[in-house]
């Protein structure tokens, strides 16, 4: 499907809401190995139920298995993948050990490369295509014209169109792990980018605030340009957000896609947008995809949900405020009062207009409050009771279509139902009699009832050449029998695509000798080329998949932390594989027993983030970066506990922590980055 609308789902109810509001597919996680481990996520039983629900509606479900896996965890990953293979349509993967195991053992299980792999260049796309990857979720830093070029390679591409953005290139952020031991690559990011930092120039403070807090991506006003790209999937961020958010954002983009496909340019009704921004909103950006100004991609003010502005307070008296509304307010709406940094939140339990209690209003009203609220205070709606009510009844008005064929003979009847990829044909042997009056339309109408299943017949046909009569009770029995099978077949119909895999899975791939006692790498080689769009092919030190040759040293940014990942990269190089920054001492020791040509970082400046945004350029008002300040001054950022160094290359920002010196496990090659 081109322009698939892919919605987030943090729990089972959100899966059903997303489908009912028009998503073509959902992505969610189980209780293990997903990059949002702090949310509820789905139990195995809920995954089965969610998959059956999606498939019944002709939609797909993808599971995120996109964390780095340690060696002693991999035995738990294997049965989990086997379970998922039986129920879901694709896996979203970061760890190349999981890629290798999945492709080696399940060649027809669709594989999506996670945005955590930060794929952003042509060489990587070609490489991933060559090993049978079915879809690539691109780095969010790519502009429109680059996506257009990458699409020419014939790989299915997925891009984000709405929701929260990471400050750092995804998969390259270690700040949460560094500050508190909670790894973003292991599913437990504490979002330190939303915290406050001071920016220092040559040791002197310039500014303070949430320097790394990104505005939320919003492409509603630019969606036609994205749809014209013809990419496979348009992805909404938000597995940790509310049901109301999932419903309202899916509804908006569903309308935009439907209008585009129908050749319409009506835009989104105001009420639909107000519902969306009441359910969740921060300051908006059109993102790197549309080359947003460096000045406008981050914000100091919108770390949390802001709501939608609906009016202001004109008077306070006796625990009541008089509010002049500019948008509708209803009972049980959530509201937020904001004035000079002070905020109060309430659920509206009573609205008085012209001396009468009303259910909703757009005029001048009185609302009960507990705190004194000053005149001039702004009022924002932070949740909508209308959306909450709609959640119980709304359903996107069209799902699957099917066809129905009925053939009646005196002692043999055939009924055939086609829905999507499912065809069910059944023969019956009821004894039928001649009809006094042939009513084939009535018979078809009775057979066409779908028993509440989410599909409609586009074509119906009956052959009753002998002019037979069939009782309604007999029709009902036949129909119910067929629809039970149709339902079961639809619910268990998973998407499968065979993809040949060129790599060997033989344990002999492990290397048991090396010629190095130690390894020293220049920092500029390790960090500087991360955001290059392709360097020398078959580079001696490889940072991108497409440049790994038989004698290439492999970067720690590839996240090697298990033996399956070692086998993957041993199909590419005989040289040293440097283990992930986050591979623990104990985990690395186990891997060193398998392959003695593994590097372990002994001394290095902690790499924390790689970002396309420049906070220095923003401070000085540089619209398109390139201000040159980084060449003339030394820059740092500071929080309450630590100071971090900022380095720059081609206007990309590299955040570094303190120098790390650590013990190297026996059998591994001590590696320094200097």
CATH number for position 21: 3.20.20.70
Q: What integer pLDDT is reported at residue 525 of this predicted model? A: 78
In a shared domain, residues 481 and 603: no
Could you tell me the pLDDT band of residue 651, with boundaries at 50, 70 and 90?
Answer: confident
In a shared domain, residues 249 and 366: no
Contact 91, 81 (CB under 8 A): yes
pTM listed for this prediction = 0.95
The residue with greater pLDDT, 501 or 38, is 501
Section 212-219 average pLDDT: 96
In a shared domain, residues 351 and 448: no
In a shared domain, residues 336 and 407: no
Q: What integer pLDDT is reported at residue 624 of this predicted model? A: 66
Task: Judge whether 342 lies within some domain.
Answer: yes
Task: Judge whether 190 lies within some domain.
Answer: no
| Dihedral, CA of residue 571, residue 112, residue 49 and residue 481, to nearest 10 | -100
Closest CA to 400 of 447, 458, 356, 446: 458
Q: How far is CA 435 from CA 441, 442, 460, 478, 520, in A?
A: 14, 13, 21, 19, 92
Contact 183, 176 (CB under 8 A): yes
Rounded Cα gap, residues 324 and 389, in angstroms:
25
DSSP letter string, 300-335? SS-SS---EEEEEEEEEETTEEEEEESS-EETT-EE
Q: What integer pLDDT is reported at residue 31 of this predicted model? A: 86
Task: Judge whether 194 lies within some domain.
Answer: no
Q: What integer pLDDT is reported at residue 533 of this predicted model? A: 52
Section 379-400 average pLDDT: 89
Q: Does residue 452 come out as left (phi exceeding 0), alpha (psi in the -120 to 50 range) or beta?
A: left
In a shared domain, residues 429 and 568: no
In a shared domain, residues 535 and 437: no
Least confident range from 27-36, 38-47, 174-183, 467-476: namely: 27-36
Least confident range from 233-247, 400-414, 612-626: namely: 612-626
Task: Judge whether 200 lies within some domain.
Answer: no
Question: What is the per-residue pLDDT across 101-127, written as a single tens digit (0 to 9) for each?
Answer: 999 999 999 999 999 999 999 999 999
Could you tell me the pLDDT band of residue 2, with boundaries at 50, 70 and 90?
Answer: confident
Q: What integer pLDDT is reported at residue 274 of this predicted model? A: 93
In a shared domain, residues 252 and 134: yes
Task: Judge whether 242 lies within some domain.
Answer: yes
Looking at every residue in the chain, the average pLDDT score rounds to 92
Could you tell me the pLDDT band of residue 202, with boundaries at 50, 70 and 90?
Answer: very high
Section 502-516 average pLDDT: 89
Burial letters 471-483, b for 16+ CB under 10 A, else e: eeebbeebbeebb
Looking at the structure of the chain, the number of domains it has is 4
What number of other Cβ atoms are within 10 A of residue 132's Cβ?
20
Rounded-to-5 percentages of helix, strand, coil across the chain: 30, 30, 40
Closest CA to 9 of 27, 21, 25: 27
Q: What integer pLDDT is reported at residue 532 of this predicted model? A: 63
Least confident range from 293-307, 415-429, 530-544: namely: 530-544
3-class secondary structure, 401:
strand
Is residue 34's pLDDT more than 80? no
Section 546-556 average pLDDT: 92
Q: What integer pLDDT is reported at residue 188 of this predicted model? A: 83
Question: What is the per-residue pLDDT across 331-344, written as a single tens digit (0 to 9) for each?
Answer: 999 999 998 878 88
Q: What integer pLDDT is reported at residue 528 of this predicted model? A: 67
Question: What is the per-residue pLDDT across 75-94, written as a single tens digit (0 to 9) for each?
Answer: 999 999 999 999 999 999 99
CATH number for the domain that contains residue 325:
2.40.30.10
In a shared domain, residues 360 and 408: no
In a shared domain, residues 57 and 150: yes
DSSP letter string, 354-398? TTEEESEESSEEEEE-SS---TT-EEEEEE-HHHHHHTTT---S-
Residue 18: domain span: 4-165+214-294
Alpha helices in 106-231 (DSSP H): 122-130, 144-151, 175-180, 223-229
Rounded Cα gap, residues 352 and 248, in angstroms:
28
Question: What is the per-residue pLDDT across 151-175, written as a single tens digit (0 to 9) for each?
Answer: 999 999 999 999 999 999 999 999 9
User: Largest Cα–Cα distance of the chain, in whole Å?
Assistant: 99
Section 463-483 average pLDDT: 95
Task: Judge whether 475 lies within some domain.
Answer: yes
Task: Judge whether 327 lies within some domain.
Answer: yes
Section 54-82 average pLDDT: 96
Q: What integer pLDDT is reported at residue 524 of this predicted model? A: 78
| Rounded (10°) angle between helices 270-279 and 243-261 | 150
Closest CA to 238 of 222, 252, 225: 252
Section 19-31 average pLDDT: 95
Task: Judge whether 503 lies within some domain.
Answer: no
Q: What integer pLDDT is reported at residue 315 of this predicted model? A: 95
In a shared domain, residues 139 and 268: yes
In a shared domain, residues 377 and 452: no
Give the residue from 229, 259, 294 where a domain finishes: 294
Section 595-615 average pLDDT: 94
Question: What is the per-residue pLDDT across 365-378, written as a single tens digit (0 to 9) for each?
Answer: 999 998 899 999 99
Question: What is the per-residue pLDDT across 340-364, written as a single tens digit (0 to 9) for each?
Answer: 878 889 899 999 999 999 999 999 9
Rounded Cα gap, residues 119 and 127, in angstroms:
11
Give the residue from 262, 294, 326 where a domain finishes: 294
- Upper half-sphere CA count for residue 173 (Cβ side, 13 Å): 29
Q: What integer pLDDT is reported at residue 417 of this predicted model? A: 97
- Upper half-sphere CA count for residue 345 (Cβ side, 13 Å): 7
Rounded Cα gap, residues 362 and 346, in angstroms:
18
Contact 147, 138 (CB under 8 A): yes
Rounded Cα gap, residues 134 and 233, in angstroms:
12
Question: What is the per-residue pLDDT across 564-588, written as a single tens digit (0 to 9) for each?
Answer: 999 999 999 999 999 999 999 999 9
Residue tagged 């119980």 (tokens): 392
Q: What integer pLDDT is reported at residue 39 of this predicted model? A: 60
Q: What percent of the chain lies above the pLDDT cut of 70?
A: 97
Question: What is the per-residue pLDDT across 50-59, written as a single tens digit (0 to 9) for each?
Answer: 999 999 999 9
In a shared domain, residues 285 and 318: no
């Amino acid at each position: 499907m081109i322009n698939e609308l892919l919605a987030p789902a943090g729990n089972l109810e959100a899966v059903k809401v997303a489908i009912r509001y028009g998503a073509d597919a959902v992505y969610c996680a189980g209780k293990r190995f997903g990059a949002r481990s702090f949310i509820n996520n789905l139990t195995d039983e809920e995954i089965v139920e969610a998959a059956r629900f999606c498939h019944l509606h002709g939609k797909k479900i993808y599971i995120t298995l996109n964390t780095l896996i340690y060696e002693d965890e991999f035995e738990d990953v294997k049965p989990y993948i086997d379970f998922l293979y039986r129920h879901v349509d694709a896996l979203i993967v970061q760890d190349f050990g999981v890629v290798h195991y999945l492709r080696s053992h399940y060649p027809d299980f669709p594989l999506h490369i996670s945005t955590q792999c930060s794929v952003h260049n042509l060489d990587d796309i070609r490489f991933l295509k060559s090993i049978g990857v079915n879809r690539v979720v691109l780095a969010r830093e790519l502009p429109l014209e680059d996506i257009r070029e990458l699409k020419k390679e014939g790989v299915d591409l997925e891009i984000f169109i709405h929701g929260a953005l990471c400050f750092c290139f995804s998969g390259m952020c270690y700040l949460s792990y560094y500050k508190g031991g909670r790894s973003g690559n292991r599913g437990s990011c504490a979002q330190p980018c939303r915290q406050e930092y001071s920016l220092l120039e040559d040791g002197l403070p310039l500014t303070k605030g949430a320097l790394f807090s990104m505005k939320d991506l919003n492409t509603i006003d630019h969606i036609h340009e994205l749809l014209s790209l013809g990419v496979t999937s348009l992805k909404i961020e938000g597995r940790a957000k509310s049901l109301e958010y999932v419903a309202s954002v899916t509804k908006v983009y569903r309308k935009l896609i439907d209008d585009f496909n129908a050749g319409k340019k009506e835009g989104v009704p105001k009420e639909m947008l107000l519902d969306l921004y009441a359910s969740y909103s921060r300051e908006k950006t059109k993102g790197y995809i549309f080359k947003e100004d460096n000045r406008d991609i981050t914000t100091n003010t919108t770390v949390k949900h802001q709501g939608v502005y609906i009016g202001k307070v004109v008077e306070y008296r006796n625990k009541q405020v008089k509010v002049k509304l500019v948008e509708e307010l209803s009972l049980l709406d959530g509201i937020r009062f904001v004035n000079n940094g002070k905020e109060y939140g309430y659920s509206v339990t009573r609205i008085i207009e012209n001396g009468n209690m009303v259910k909703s209003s757009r005029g001048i009203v009185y609302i009960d409050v507990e705190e004194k609220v000053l005149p001039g205070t702004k009022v924002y709606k932070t949740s909508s009771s209308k959306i909450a009510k709609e959640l119980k009844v709304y359903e996107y008005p069209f799902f699957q279509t099917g066809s129905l064929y009925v053939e009646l003979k005196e002692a043999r009847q055939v009924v055939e139902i086609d829905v999507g990829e499912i065809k069910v044909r059944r023969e019956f042997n009821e004894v039928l009699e001649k009809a006094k009056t042939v009513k084939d339309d009535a018979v078809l109408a009775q057979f066409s009832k779908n028993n509440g299943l989410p599909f409609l017949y586009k074509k119906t046909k009956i052959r009753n050449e002998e002019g037979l009569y069939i009782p309604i009770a007999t029709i009902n029995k036949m129909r119910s029998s067929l629809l039970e099978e149709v339902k079961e077949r639809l619910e268990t119909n998973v998407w499968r695509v065979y993809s040949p895999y060129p790599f060997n899975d033989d344990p002999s791939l492990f290397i048991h000798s090396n010629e190095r006692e130690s390894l020293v790498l220049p920092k500029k080689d390790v960090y500087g080329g991360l955001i290059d769009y392709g360097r020398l092919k078959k580079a001696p030190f490889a940072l991108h998949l497409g440049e790994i040759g038989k004698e290439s040293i492999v970067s720690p940014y590839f996240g090697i932390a298990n033996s399956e990942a070692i086998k993957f990269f041993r199909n590419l190089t005989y040289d040293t594989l440097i283990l992930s920054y986050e591979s623990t001492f104990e985990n690395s020791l186990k891997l060193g027993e398998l392959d003695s040509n593994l590097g372990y970082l002994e001394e290095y400046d902690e790499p924390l983030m790689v970002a396309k945004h420049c906070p220095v350029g923003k401070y000085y008002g540089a619209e398109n970066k390139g201000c040159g300040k980084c060449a003339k001054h030394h820059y740092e950022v500071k929080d309450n506990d630590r100071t971090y160094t900022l380095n720059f290359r081609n206007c990309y920002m590299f955040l570094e922590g303190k120098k790390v010196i650590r013990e190297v496990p026996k059998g591994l090659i001590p590696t320094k980055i200097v």
